[in-house]
Amino acid sequence: MRSILIPLAALALLAGCKGNAPEPAASDTTTAAADGVSMPALPTDPRATVTVPGSYASNGNILVLGADDSAVLTDAAGKETKGKWAWYSDGKRILLTADKSVFAVADGALYKLADKDAPLTGLTADQIWAKAR
């Protein structure tokens, strides 16, 4: 009888603790990186919902995407590379023709991907190119 009471007591204790867990924070547009950087989530259909043209910055580099599909990338040393940008057929990523860089598109940011086959999950703060407001 004693051997049955111990597992039952442990089960009752665990059941009593279940309701005390904090609720996870709801966030449909932003996740927070460990260093406090705001990381906009990737929308389901960025091509239809995000205005891509604008100026983006990351680690002293500046990328200006024009409404005419022009792209100007200026590195931290001031070297300028000009080209075009275009949407991939999935409507979630863009390609810079000048250096073949690939970016995932979020509202207010771009995430630089390793290549065109890189997954759109597990994005990190060091990949962010923040859009100038």
Q: Which residues contact 67 (CB under 8 A, 6 or more apart)?
A: 53
pTM here? 0.73
Query: Does residue 68 belong to any structural domain of this protein?
Result: yes
The separation between the first and the last C-alpha atoms of the chain, rounded to the nearest angstrom, is 69
Alpha carbon of 74 to those of 22, 69, 94, 112: distances in Å?
Answer: 45, 16, 18, 15
Q: Does residue 10 lie within any of the structural domains?
A: no
Residue 18 lies in a domain: no
Contacts of residue 99, Cβ cutoff 8 Å, sequence gap at least 6:
73, 81, 83
| Better-predicted residue by pLDDT, 57 or 19 | 57
What is the average pLDDT value for the chain, to the nearest integer?
82
Residue 11 lies in a domain: no
Using the structure block, give the residue that is written with the tokens 């960025």: 46
Total domains present in the chain = 1
Query: Is 13 contained in some domain?
Result: no
Query: What is the band of 38 on the pLDDT scale with cuts at 50, 70, 90?
Result: confident
Structure tokens at 113: 């991907």
pLDDT-based confidence at residue 71 (cuts at 50, 70, 90) = very high
19 is a domain residue: no
Residue indicated by tokens 């059941």 = 15
| Residue numbers of the domain that contains 38 | 33-131
Supply the pLDDT for residue 133. 76
Domain CATH for 121:
2.40.128.640
Could you tell me which residue, 53 or 17, shows the higher pLDDT?
Answer: 53
Residue that wins the pLDDT comparison between 9 and 56: 56
**21 lies in a domain?**
no
Q: Note whether residue 6 is domain-resident.
A: no
